[in-house]
Structure 1
């Protein structure tokens, strides 16, 4: 990670978990809720209130209704239910139609049934989120700026329940973010199916970044290249924030005493075959370290108290995952 370095992709996911770290920057993202129990409800509610739009992937609406007592009474409401609707319960549909604002007829139009069995409810919901994002971008005065057109997507309640569903969610997370053109479709793949599954074809992060969280970890795709991931922010300690009574003032300034947005556990998982990893900012850093399924795997590594940024250079696309302190 020295010498003539390639261009570094900058990541700062800390504002996802703590709105105070935005520093008055824009904060536009779609929230897609998957069909798994919702954990870390304080985090979920914070994202719910801040999201530009809230979309349940089919049975994800059942999960939202299950915590309806925790939702803010004054809104915002769940905006859309998208999928083949085979998991949508009748009581959830009735609850959704009774939400204030548009009336039952208007709400009915926001239940979008897509019977295509070649794409998952996850893919359908993400595609709808991207389409809505593009429409909003065209209507903004700053639509000429590609940076301002981009909206991220946060998918909530992933990686729980059945192993095959968890693997499918990781597959789709990668599929939505990888760089891939039409020439990469194999003879066994249908171009029509590819178009349905992938909201955009091969643009990497150009249409926005995508994060998957179950409230206990945050996972996203690092494309081949070099990345700098901010895991701790200087504003993690606010000047006007009171020092906890069990911490002395002189101790509060120590790095190890700072409240962290993220936990310490990190994993870097190969996606597209064997990869060579070089890292900086972890307890067990590596250099040109080969990782692959069936070989060595970088799991349960740790961040260090003195590192606010983790650097990762990878020869092929990988998953980066870091744990989140669960709020109670």
Structure 2
């Protein structure tokens, strides 16, 4: 094997919380709603309404994604704009009940809930009727309630499978600006990690399972359970089926496969001021000195970070956290990196791990 340094996987989840336009390829994602109460409703509505356009007549071509839907067809000079866009909204069985419960907050017309999928044992009749009465759904509504009775997979897994199938179909119609991964959409799963502990553990299990790496020789795109061994080298990125994020409205959680990662935690295009002074003496401990320029750096995400081992003991090296570590062993029953903090001077957190881990960071409640 080559002695060259392994590549660094770049992460930029800031568009999940921000509304900025992206240069180059637009940030497209599928929104999957799980069967847990929807917390941080403003964040949920922000994701739900992504891709909705309005034009301010005195300041063209300013785009605001929280505004009412712009009439179709769009002017030609808008078609090329790259907006953070939810391409599909899928409820995993009882997730439709959760959307129905906050229906008063949803836009009266579009966008709508696109699919309900699962064994449908949790879907309430009033949520089904509301779904079928959505504007624009028409006679095709029943076809968008997809019953999959398979008891060997969860409703979560069925929803993710449908999201990936739809993503692949959409990718066939889009020109690629690069490699095959340019065509892959991320999946944001909302309302995870709430309720019963066994359900939360199942969600983390599926999050990990969905992000397994594939072998470069696996042209079918199937994930390999044996990936990650020296006999089965990985492609440079590893996230062959897109990246997946799990959020309960209070934190964002995703899988870091073994290797090096750089995670952007502040939107480099945002210039919203944040307080320069720490809130407590504890926050000052080990933190970098805050400069005047640091005080103007926006905090897109909150400060609390956890890095949890998934596949046995792991050696961690971090940079950009208040309590950075180097070749630090972490495992269940041993030391765990929880309740760490980002630092005021860090736009990016770097993590190098010898085995797969969960990365979680808290997010602000939008108002």
TM-score, with length taken from structure 2 = 0.77
For residues 21 and 322 of structure 2, what CA distance do their matches in structure 1 show? 25
Provide the secondary structure at the position in 1 that maps to 2:269.
Answer: helix
1:201 aligns with 2:240: no
Distance 1:314 1:21 in 2: 32
Q: Deviations over 1:173-195 (max 9, x none)?
A: 000001267xxxxxxxxxxxxxx
Are the equivalent residues in 1 in contact too, given 2:267–2:298 (CA < 8 A)?
A: no
Q: Distance in 2 between matches of 1:316 and 1:266?
A: 18
Name which of 61, 66, 83 aligns with 2:118.
83
Give 3-state SS (helix, strand or coil) of 2:27's partner.
Answer: coil
Q: Provide Cα deviations, 1:40-69, integer angstroms capped at 9, x if missing partner.
A: 111111111221000000000000011101
Is the counterpart of residue 62 in structure 1 residue 84 in structure 2?
no
Tell me the CA shift for residue 217 of structure 1.
0.4
- 1:268/1:318 contact within 8 Å kept: yes
Q: Which residue of 2 aligns with 1:296?
A: 335
Q: State the partner residue of 2:75.
A: none
**1:319 is aligned to 2:341:** no
- Root-mean-square deviation (CA), in Å? 2.3
Mean CA deviation greater in 132-141 or 200-209 = 200-209
Is 1:210–2:244 an aligned residue pair? Answer: yes
Q: Which residue in the other structure is 2:47 paired with? A: 47
SS of residue paired to 1:10:
strand
Query: Who is 2:263 aligned against?
Result: 229
**Match for residue 190 of structure 1?**
none
Give me the whole-angstrom Cα distance separating, in 2, the residues matched to 1:22 and 1:40. Answer: 24
Q: Secondary structure at the match of 2:20?
A: helix
Q: 8 Å contact 1:236–1:260 — kept in the other structure?
A: no
Aligned to 1:31: 31
Change beyond 3 A, Cα 1:312–1:70: same
Deviation track 1:150-198 (CA, whole Å, cap 9, x = no partner) reads 10000000000000000000000000001267xxxxxxxxxxxxxxxxx
| Pairing of 1:154-303 with structure 2 (within 5 A) | 154-179=188-213, 200-202=222-224, 204-237=238-271, 254-303=293-342
Question: Alignment partner of 2:122: what SS?
Answer: coil
What's the CA shift string for 1:120-168, capped at 9, x where partnerless?
0000000000000011111223388413311000000000000000000
CA distance, structure 2, for counterparts of residue 258 and residue 179 of structure 1: 34
Number of aligned positions between the proteins? 300
Q: Which range is displaced more, 134-143 or 209-218?
A: 134-143
Q: In 2, Cα distance between the equivalents of 1:8 and 1:258?
A: 24
Contact preservation (8 Å) 1:267, 1:321? yes
From the two aligned structures, give the one with the greater helix fraction.
Answer: 1
Q: Is the 8 A contact 2:266 2:297 kept in 1?
A: no
Give the conservation status (yes or no) of the 8 Å contact 1:58–1:81: yes
The answer as to whether partners of 1:176 and 1:200 remain within 8 angstroms in 2 is no
Structure 2 residues without counterparts, runs of 5 or longer: 51-85, 216-220, 225-234, 277-289
Task: Spell out, residue by residue over 1:192-225, the C-alpha distance to the aligned partner (whole angstroms, 9 max, x if none).
Answer: xxxxxxx942384112100000111000000000
Structure 1 residues 253 and 99, CA, compared in 2 at 3 Å: closer, same or farther? farther
* TM-score normalized by the length of structure 1: 0.86
- Which has the higher mean CA deviation after the structures are superposed, 52-61 or 21-30? 21-30
Quickly say closer, same or farther: Cα 1:76–1:255, change in 2 above 3 A: same
